Structure 1
């Protein structure tokens, strides 16, 4: 038998003593663990009305709805379009406003006084309700800690008339880890926009290290551009998922390389950047980080594609996939002539819902966090117009995704301290922190000048991770300047 080390020996003796005295004499046990107040000693703690009066009750919903609660983590934002982390173990969160400001939030919830990035002088946006133009996307390079590079996607106007979307590379300041270098912008790509809507806006890095760019179909209604529309035209960059290699340029002066396995490299009628096509206006996509134990699902890219008149859809992006628009909307035909073309060969969505449920999908994330184990593997997303939150669960045997009913918990379930059961209606975006916990960003009034944007974090009260299991090791953040502490506002609202 192997020798027992001194620390292990102590733990064994301690557990034996705790078991012995807890079984024989409760008062002796309480003295052993230095609990002078008997109310806090088992089993008294379970029976004390004073200690339990502020705790909620976890109840099973007879309808089978997974009842979730929320915590408020940021507020006072003007149309917050995205929140992301930098993947550098600092656990900072970067929240972007449509106007072009990006703010740094620390782990303690405080916000830094100076923005990480201010592009408000370059970004094309207006205070009009629902204007889709502005600062729309951002992604940190997978090696951000080493190279300080990140990428942004925003609307611009040229000569007071021509509108474009621009994708650029920028770098963090050499003097302040919480500020970007405003003079470091390197334009990677610009695409003309024929209309003010359907601007796309998602940037993300896949597990392959390449940058994925998600563009809208160009706007207006029904993708009326050309014979088949922009989305079905592989020689156009609109209505596409583009994939490029940003780690180097080519002799021609182009600011990126084409990955050697992009699907249409040999097609003379296709742009080499195209990875997938037939999309209308994908609004918010995410990379599945995979099951924390088995890594199942790692690298899948999920997107919400906003519909036209009848259906919203959720897609998983595959190499060379044709997602159907404008031939199809969801599972149904939109353009009959294109829909029945034998060459369409479209990739079907994993889920679609009608406009009786919602009218503008906001793509979400597959939950892979630690704090709420029951949510693991659920793809959670929402709808901008209806304010609904939905979830999909995969049947790994068949590969099919089925809707899982989720709802806000009632007053009893969400009466734990710090929890709320209500949120703003206009769900703009979802987010994932460095630990894999899930958030969403919503506002009361979707205008770039309305400071009502709030960030909410999901919490499942029915099952929590064991104490200490989800503790994260954080690298220090050097802060220059002031910090503003977080002051919640939504918890003051009455629960329903």
Structure 2
């Protein structure tokens, strides 16, 4: 695919790490405004070229970056406006709750004793490492995430209405980002949850039908609106029945997802989902038809020790598959530093899910020898683009990577790229989107990607550091021809 060149037009600068970029029309307003949610808990919007505060929940966000050298994947992770926000003022937040810090799910490990994050590596020769269980969940966890419904009152002040979910998370990472979006097909709120973190999904939560982690979930926010303050849970069967009845599961086999994007195609929608990779590859999936499974049906099947009918159910394959590859553990070759030995970590699981899993639309690799490609680090955004302002990108799906993996590159730069759905439904290649913006000597990690309501405009969030504790280094751009 040909490379495309664009310009980055700065919209807001010197802000904290921007995790969500999307637009809506405020009640009583006449035009769309760009909203920017930051990881530390601020939500701004742009009016008359100036940044205005919509909501600040920084005191309600867990203390970020204390034990992990300033890096963190918790915080304010999701913001979604109800399709009828203009009339009802409803919007939704997903964030990590202040005061809920725990010891982690593997507290007896050396890393935990040293106060470091837990990055698990399976050993294919040791069955114990392949069959770990998350036990003592009420005490051995990292933090609690919450999904809340808020309302913009007639006086212009936002107020919390109720809590939809309280989720106990095993590790600090893989909580999703841009994790709340409304489906234009069903009108339901879509929550994308990561596998719970660490590395290689140590408890295989993503493939367990009862685990909330590692799934894409639809929430019918119009049902059981009287129910508030649900218990803190990790599994669907721990939820009260009124909440179970509001939930359906679209997909499993998720490692970590930077949101979901819907692209209208005649009278149906193509769904795009990016799954962040482990060590080798980042992947973008697309699907049109799917059969969501009601949580009540999953629970019933579990009680009967039966497997629910999963025909048409989406499975991205993790942890047995990393995109198009069986999940592998790279190990350095002492005799040749340019090569790695790659051992399949979960061979049996790769075989089990080889037919059931969805093949990716495109993948890009952490090491890519091709001249016109790039080595990636982590997928941070996926958005369909339907505008004519950048003709070479019209109808494509655009994605961002955190940082181009080139040892010689200093300072760091993120990457923009794009791909398209093929009519023969086969794996497609991708093209690089080159930018003309001069970041100078500052690093520029590409941390988020957003679009306006009709997907004719694209927005990019960049940050000058990998640390959430390095403040006010964020810039938001519009991507233009």
TM-score (norm 2): 0.70
The reply to whether residue 398 of structure 1 matches residue 391 of structure 2 is: no
2:74 aligned partner: 133
User: Given the superposition, is the C-alpha separation of residues 327 and 370 from structure 1 closer, same or farther in structure 2, using an over 3 Å criterion?
Assistant: same
The aligned runs of 1:187-198 (5 Å cut-off) are 187-198=163-174
Query: Could you tell me how far 1:160 is from its partner in structure 2?
Result: 4.7
User: Given the superposition, is the C-alpha separation of residues 431 and 346 from structure 1 closer, same or farther in structure 2, using an over 3 Å criterion?
Assistant: same
Distance 2:430 2:323 in 1: 19
Asked if 1 retains the 8 angstrom alpha-carbon contact of 2:207 and 2:319, the reply is yes
Q: Secondary structure at the match of 2:348?
A: helix
Query: Could you tell me how far 1:272 is from its partner in structure 2?
Result: 5.4
Query: Could you tell me how far 1:196 is from its partner in structure 2?
Result: 0.8
Matching residue within 268, 271, 274 for 1:304? 274
The reply to whether residue 352 of structure 1 matches residue 371 of structure 2 is: no
Distance 1:456 1:148 in 2: 27
Query: Could you tell me how far 1:218 is from its partner in structure 2?
Result: 0.9
Distance 2:71 2:377 in 1: 13
1:314 aligned partner: 284
The reply to whether residue 175 of structure 1 matches residue 193 of structure 2 is: no
1:279 aligned partner: 254
Query: Could you tell me how far 1:186 is from its partner in structure 2?
Result: 1.0
Q: Secondary structure at the match of 1:394?
A: coil
Asked if 2 retains the 8 angstrom alpha-carbon contact of 1:216 and 1:240, the reply is yes
The reply to whether residue 361 of structure 1 matches residue 379 of structure 2 is: yes
1:375 aligned partner: 393
User: Given the superposition, is the C-alpha separation of residues 339 and 429 from structure 1 closer, same or farther in structure 2, using an over 3 Å criterion?
Assistant: same
2:445 aligned partner: 426
Distance 1:143 1:159 in 2: 33
Asked if 2 retains the 8 angstrom alpha-carbon contact of 1:302 and 1:363, the reply is no
Matching residue within 195, 201, 204 for 1:223? 201
Asked if 2 retains the 8 angstrom alpha-carbon contact of 1:234 and 1:274, the reply is no
Q: Secondary structure at the match of 1:96?
A: strand
Matching residue within 413, 416, 427 for 1:389? 416
The reply to whether residue 329 of structure 1 matches residue 299 of structure 2 is: no
Asked if 2 retains the 8 angstrom alpha-carbon contact of 1:82 and 1:97, the reply is yes
- 1:36-88: CA deviation from partner (whole Å, max 9, x where unpaired): xxxxxxxxxxxxxxxxxxxxxxxxxxx94222222111111111111111255
2:216 aligned partner: 241
User: Given the superposition, is the C-alpha separation of residues 331 and 159 from structure 1 closer, same or farther in structure 2, using an over 3 Å criterion?
Assistant: closer
2:61 aligned partner: 123
Q: Secondary structure at the match of 2:420?
A: strand
Distance 1:239 1:342 in 2: 15
- Structure 2's unaligned 5+ residue stretches are 103-140, 231-244, 292-312, 328-345, 368-374, 405-413
- C-alpha root-mean-square deviation of aligned residues, in Å? 2.6
Q: Secondary structure at the match of 1:279?
A: coil
| Higher Rg | 1
User: Given the superposition, is the C-alpha separation of residues 160 and 216 from structure 1 closer, same or farther in structure 2, using an over 3 Å criterion?
Assistant: closer
Q: Secondary structure at the match of 1:116?
A: strand
Alignment size in residue pairs: 360
Asked if 2 retains the 8 angstrom alpha-carbon contact of 1:283 and 1:304, the reply is yes
Distance 2:83 2:163 in 1: 19
The aligned runs of 1:54-65 (5 Å cut-off) are 64-65=2-3
Distance 1:198 1:438 in 2: 25
Q: Secondary structure at the match of 2:86?
A: helix
User: Given the superposition, is the C-alpha separation of residues 391 and 175 from structure 1 closer, same or farther in structure 2, using an over 3 Å criterion?
Assistant: same
Query: Could you tell me how far 1:310 is from its partner in structure 2?
Result: 1.0
The reply to whether residue 75 of structure 1 matches residue 9 of structure 2 is: no
Query: Could you tell me how far 1:297 is from its partner in structure 2?
Result: 8.0
Q: Secondary structure at the match of 1:391?
A: strand
The reply to whether residue 458 of structure 1 matches residue 396 of structure 2 is: no
Q: Secondary structure at the match of 2:153?
A: coil
1:442 aligned partner: 462
Asked if 1 retains the 8 angstrom alpha-carbon contact of 2:4 and 2:392, the reply is no
Q: Secondary structure at the match of 2:36?
A: strand
Query: Could you tell me how far 1:408 is from its partner in structure 2?
Result: 2.3
Query: Could you tell me how far 1:373 is from its partner in structure 2?
Result: 2.9
Distance 2:361 2:12 in 1: 32
Asked if 2 retains the 8 angstrom alpha-carbon contact of 1:217 and 1:238, the reply is yes
Q: Secondary structure at the match of 1:195?
A: coil
User: Given the superposition, is the C-alpha separation of residues 347 and 64 from structure 1 closer, same or farther in structure 2, using an over 3 Å criterion?
Assistant: closer
The reply to whether residue 211 of structure 1 matches residue 189 of structure 2 is: yes
The reply to whether residue 90 of structure 1 matches residue 31 of structure 2 is: yes
1:200 aligned partner: 176
Distance 1:342 1:384 in 2: 29
Distance 1:382 1:345 in 2: 28
1:41 aligned partner: none
Distance 1:434 1:403 in 2: 27
TM-score (norm 1): 0.68
Q: Secondary structure at the match of 2:258?
A: strand
